[in-house]
């Protein structure tokens, strides 16, 4: 039983290190971890928390507007979507250089697209990853006015 105090000390030190690591990781302070628990919702030197409900992280890429199959009467549309913050979004353009945008810190991105009269098949993806391709078809019909 001569090793028991050494083992007990090692367990206490290990538990302390684990606790310290968990409490000091980004976003783990009691104030930001659960603002609904009565915390102030802010940390010294940081911006106040805008909402007490945390949003889910953005996974993959989505196209919010325009919708697939939409008909428009304007020659140009702005395609708007969501993706992980800082990620590059690519509009694949056959036989021409692709268009690119970068998702902002909230995950929003936008790319202006000039349309041809009739059906326009638009393809977007994350960077060069063709497995993330998303297609939408927009029909441009000029107004007669």
- Domain range summary for the chain, segments of one domain joined by +: 1-54, 62-140
| Inter-residue contact 126 to 89 (CB < 8 Å) | yes
* Weakest-pLDDT range from 21-25, 43-47, 57-61: 43-47
For 59-77, the pLDDT digits (tens) are 789 999 999 999 999 999 9
Reported pTM: 0.59
Residue bearing the bigger pLDDT, 64 or 54: 64
Among 83, 44, 13, CA closest to 5? 13
Q: What CATH code would you report for 62-140?
A: 2.60.40.10
* Weakest-pLDDT range from 3-17, 38-52, 78-92, 98-112: 38-52
Q: What is the DSSP letter of 74?
A: S
Average pLDDT over residues 90-112: 95
What sign does the CA torsion over 24, 29, 33, 37 have? positive
Average pLDDT of the chain is 78
Residue bearing the bigger pLDDT, 103 or 54: 103
């Amino acid at each position: 039983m001569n090793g028991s105090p050494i083992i007990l000390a090692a367990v206490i030190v290990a538990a302390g290190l684990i606790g310290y690591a968990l409490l000091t990781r980004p976003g783990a302070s009691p104030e930001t971890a659960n603002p609904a628990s009565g915390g102030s919702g802010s940390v010294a030197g940081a911006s106040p928390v805008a909402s007490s409900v945390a949003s889910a992280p953005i996974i993959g890429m989505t196209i919010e507007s325009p919708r697939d199959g939409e008909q428009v009467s304007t020659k140009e549309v702005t395609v708007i979507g969501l993706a992980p913050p800082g990620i590059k979004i690519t509009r694949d353009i056959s036989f021409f250089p692709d268009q690119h945008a970068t998702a902002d810190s909230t995950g929003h991105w936008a790319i202006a697209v000039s349309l041809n009269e009739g059906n326009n098949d638009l393809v977007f993806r994350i960077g060069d990853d063709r497995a993330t391709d998303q297609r939408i078809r927009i029909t441009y019909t000029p107004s007669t006015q």
